[in-house]
Every structure is written in C-alpha cells, then in structure tokens.
C-alpha cells in the first residue's frame, strides 16, 4: 500500500522508486506471460537473458558506456571488490595509490594491502573526513598502477565533484553511493564499481565497469568468482547470478531513462540537496553540517544538533511522522539523511519543515 510507505532516509539498503516496486509487484508471479516469477527462471533461459541484456543496454545508455568497457553484474558487494581490484589489476609487488576521504576508502586500502604494495597518498582522517584534497597537492607514487578514490563517502558525506588524473596508471572509483545519481565521464576511469543497494536496486548485485584492456591479468591466487576475465567471458553468468536483483536494477535503469536520463536525475538531486543544506546553514547554528561546502555530497547529508541532548528526540519524533532511519552512522553520531535518487522531493520538503518546527520548539 503506497499510502502506508514511509520516507526512508537510510544509507542503504535504501528506498526504491515506488513505481518500480509497483511494476515488480505486478510482474511478481508471472513475468511477461512466462508463467514464472523472475526468481524461478533459469539464468540461462531466453527470458532471463533478455532481462540481463536489457539491464546492461540501459545502463550503457544511461552512462554512455562505450564498447571499450565491459559491464559485469557480480555478487559479494563492493567490499568484495576491495580485494578483487588489486587481485585483477596488479601483481603483489606493484605499487598502487589510495586517496582516503572516509571510512570506505580506508577499508578499500586495507584490503588492497594484502594483494599489492598499496599506499595512502592522502587521508582526511585528521580532519574527520570533511574534505577532498586539491589534486595538485597529491603526491602520487611514480610507478603506481592505479589511483583509487571513493567517489562519495556514504558515512561522512564528502563527494568528489571532479576527478584527479592518475600520473601513470588508471583511475579506479568506488561509486557505491552515488552511482547513476549524475552523469559521469566513464572514459576517465579504468574501473568503476558500485554495490546496487543505494541508487539502483536491492543488495546482492555489484556492478563493475572495467576497460577491456585491463581484463585478463588476474593474480594466480584469484578465486574464480573474482576473476573479471572469467566473469566477462561468461557475461556475468559463470555461476547462478543474483537474478532477481539484476531484474530490479533493470527496472530502475529503465525508470531513470524514462525520467530523461542522468542529467535530469542530477537536477532533481541538486534541488533536494540544496533544500536540505540551505535549511541546515540557515538555522543559525542549531543544525550543523561539518563537511566543507564545495564537496558536500548530493546523496548523504550528515548533520548534528548544537544541543546534542535533543538528537534522540529528533530521530524519534521524525520517525513518528514517517521519516525513518535518520540516525547518523555510529562512528560519526548525529543525524544523516540519505537522499538518493528514489527519495522524492516531497520527502526532503517534509524533513525540512520538520527541522524548522523542531528548531522552533527547542531553540
């Protein structure tokens, strides 16, 4: 029942578009007259093949992905990619660089240490991950095979608005929490990866977009499931893939195209983010967002209350008004509103109205 749905500000798994859920509901038991649910189909049958092929074609259209790139639908979450990336792209003795702008970049770096000579060339930790470095200041390792960034740090709310040029190697980006939220020039990257569960589908699907010439160099110890060459040769069907999740991603891609593509999606996201950040900045310090203004995320908005003793009340009262999952990550505290593609403007408007009212009652 759509009337009973809440505004879900969770960082992930996150809200999905209501129209997409309705469509999935209408196709749940009998997909396109096949007499089967997508959950019951052979992943090698013509029905599912048409689903995964359309999902890939629509994603390619959304991001203008050329034939120089392979698109993979994998499992194991973005966390598995933290290991798969060095395992596929470099040898254990190779240098790789990590720019660490938050907890996810740090986790990616730590995993890469096991399979490469990885180095943190910039960390925002001492400034509580509120900044993105100036690209000129980055001291890249001359022979680094790749430069890894987390395009949007979900916990800290810092987002790259532009991308650094790697000196020698290639640029690798974790786009888990801003994937398909705006246009991206894929040709700048050697590899982009994203867990689906924020902007494009349910958890269980991980998307990897990799330049074709980088496929086929996996270390000998690489598990078969993590080997991009094997996954690419088998069109992501080496084993049983997360069929239903891929189907849901396909419905979301179709919906994003119907909205006019990622330029239109970005406009909507900017409008929502501006509304919320302005409310925070205009609250005369009652609410604060610690992130440097120029790199504030359009997706994840962390904020605190000047009177932190009221934070629990804020979260409780908001939930009563059907605005849920506003508690900040345990490592940061305060509040966090995740406003991914599927959060309607009405949800942000309601939150801002609530914030103003809460301030009036507690100032």
Listed ranges 15-23, 160-168, 174-182, 210-218: which one lies at the site for ligand PLP (CB under 6 A): 174-182
Q: Given its phi and psi angles, is residue 285 left (phi above 0), alpha (psi -120 to 50 degrees) or beta?
A: left
Does position 154 bind ligand PLP by CB under 6 A? Answer: yes
The least distance separating ligand PLP from the CB of residue 13, rounded to whole angstroms, comes to 9
Count of residues near ligand PLP by CB under 6 A: 11
Instruction: Tell me the torsion sign for CA atoms 199, 205, 209, 210.
Output: positive
The residue (of 194 and 305) whose beta carbon lies closer to ligand PLP is 194
Environment class of 254 (CB within 10 Å of its CB; exposed 0-12, middle 13-18, buried 19+): middle
Q: Does 204 bind ligand PLP (CB under 6 A)?
A: no
* Catalytic residue list contains 198: yes
What are the residues facing 300 on neighbouring strands? 338
| Cβ proximity to ligand PLP, 9 vs 104, nearer residue | 104
Tell me: does residue 247 bind ligand PLP (CB under 6 A).
no
Whole-number Å distance between alpha carbons of 78 and 76:
7
* Pairwise CA distance, residues 48 & 73, whole Å: 13
Q: Which is nearer to ligand PLP, 228 or 287 (CB)?
A: 228
- For ligand PLP, the closer of residues 244 and 358 by Cβ is 244
Given candidates 58, 174, 227, 311, which one binds ligand PLP under the rule CB under 6 A? 174
**How would you classify the pairing of strands 191-195 and 152-153?**
unpaired
Q: Which residue among 104, 106, 145, 227 is the active-site one?
A: 104
Instruction: Check binding of 176 to ligand PLP (CB under 6 A).
Output: yes
| Minimum CB distance to ligand PLP smaller for 41 or for 191 | 191
Residue 205 in contact with ligand PLP, rule: CB under 6 A: no
| Number of neighbours of residue 203 by Cβ within 10 angstroms | 15
Q: Counting beta carbons within 10 angstroms of the beta carbon of residue 193, is it exposed (0 to 12), middle (13 to 18) or buried (19 or more)?
A: buried
Out of 9, 10, 12, 99, point to the residue binding ligand PLP (CB under 6 A): 12
CA pair distance 24, 244, nearest whole angstrom? 10
Q: Is 174 annotated as catalytic?
A: yes
If residue 171 lies in a helix (H) or strand (E), which one and from where to where? Answer: strand 170-174
Q: Which of 172, 181, 174, 135 is closest to 299 using CA atoms?
A: 181
Closest CA relative to residue 206, chosen from 87, 70, 79, 73: 73
Q: 296 near 157, Cβ under 8 Å?
A: yes
205 vs 243, which CB is nearer to ligand PLP? 205
Report phi then psi at 119, rounded to 5.
Answer: -135, 140
Among 132, 150, 210, 326, binds ligand PLP (CB under 6 A): 150
If one asks whether residue 297 binds ligand PLP (CB under 6 A), the answer comes out as: no
User: How would you classify the pairing of strands 158-159 and 117-123?
Assistant: unpaired
Least Å from the CB of residue 348 to ligand PLP: 20
How far apart are CB 317 and ligand PLP at their closest, in Å? 26
The interface region with ligand PLP, picked from 67-75, 120-128, 169-177, 313-321 by CB under 6 A, is: 169-177
Helix, coil or strand: residue 201: coil
Contact between 157 and ligand PLP (CB under 6 A)? no
**CA–CA gap between residue 98 and residue 321 (Å, rounded):** 42
Active-site residue, selected from the candidate residues 58, 106, 174, 255: 174
CB of 307 to ligand PLP, least distance (A): 29
Residue whose beta carbon is closest to ligand PLP: 77
Nearest CB to ligand PLP, comparing residues 38 and 149? 149
Q: Which of 145, 182, 198, 327 is catalytic?
A: 198
Q: Return the closest-CA partner of residue 150 out of 175, 131, 167.
A: 175
| Interaction pattern, residues 56-95, with ligand PLP; x per rule: CB under 6 A | ---------------------xxx----------------
- Per CB under 6 A, residues contacting ligand PLP are 12, 77-79, 104, 150, 154, 174, 176-177, 195
Catalytic center residues: 104, 174, 198
């Amino acid at each position: 029942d759509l009337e009973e749905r809440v505004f879900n500000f969770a960082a992930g798994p996150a809200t999905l578009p209501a129209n997409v859920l309705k469509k999935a509901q209408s196709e749940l038991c009998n997909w396109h007259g096949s007499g089967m649910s997508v959950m019951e189909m052979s992943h090698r049958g013509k029905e599912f093949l048409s689903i995964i092929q359309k999902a890939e074609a629509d994603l390619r259209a959304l991001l203008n992905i050329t034939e120089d790139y392979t698109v993979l639908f994998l499992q194991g979450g973005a966390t598995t990619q933290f290991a798969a990336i060095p395992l596929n792209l470099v040898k254990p003795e190779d240098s790789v660089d990590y720019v660490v702008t938050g907890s996810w970049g740090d986790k990616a770096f730590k995993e890469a240490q096991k399979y490469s000579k990885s180095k943190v060339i910039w960390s925002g930790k001492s400034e509580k991950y509120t900044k993105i470095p100036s690209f000129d200041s980055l001291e890249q390792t001359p022979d680094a095979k790749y430069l890894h960034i987390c395009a949007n740090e979900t916990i800290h709310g810092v987002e790259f608005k532009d991308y650094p040029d790697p000196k020698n190697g290639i640029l690798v980006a974790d786009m888990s929490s801003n994937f398909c939220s705006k246009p991206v020039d894929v040709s700048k990257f050697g590899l982009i990866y994203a867990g689906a569960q924020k902007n494009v589908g349910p958890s269980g699907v991980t998307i990897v977009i990799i330049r074709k010439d980088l496929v086929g160099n996996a270390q000998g110890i690489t598990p078969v499931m993590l080997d991009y060459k094997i996954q690419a040769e088998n069109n992501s069907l080496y084993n049983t893939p997360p069929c239903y999740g891929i189907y849901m991603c396909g419905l979301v891609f179709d919906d994003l195209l119907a909205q006019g593509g990622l330029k239109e999606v970005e406009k909507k996201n900017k409008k929502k983010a501006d509304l919320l950040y302005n409310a925070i900045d205009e609250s005369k310090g009652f609410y604060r967002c610690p992130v440097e203004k120029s790199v504030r995320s359009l997706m994840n908005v962390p904020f605190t209350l000047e009177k932190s003793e009221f934070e629990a009340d804020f979260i409780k009262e908001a939930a009563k008004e059907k605005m849920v999952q506003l508690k900040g990550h345990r490592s940061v505290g305060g509040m966090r509103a995740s406003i991914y593609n599927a959060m309607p403007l009405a949800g942000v408007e309601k939150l801002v109205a609530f914030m103003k009212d809460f301030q009036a009652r507690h100032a």
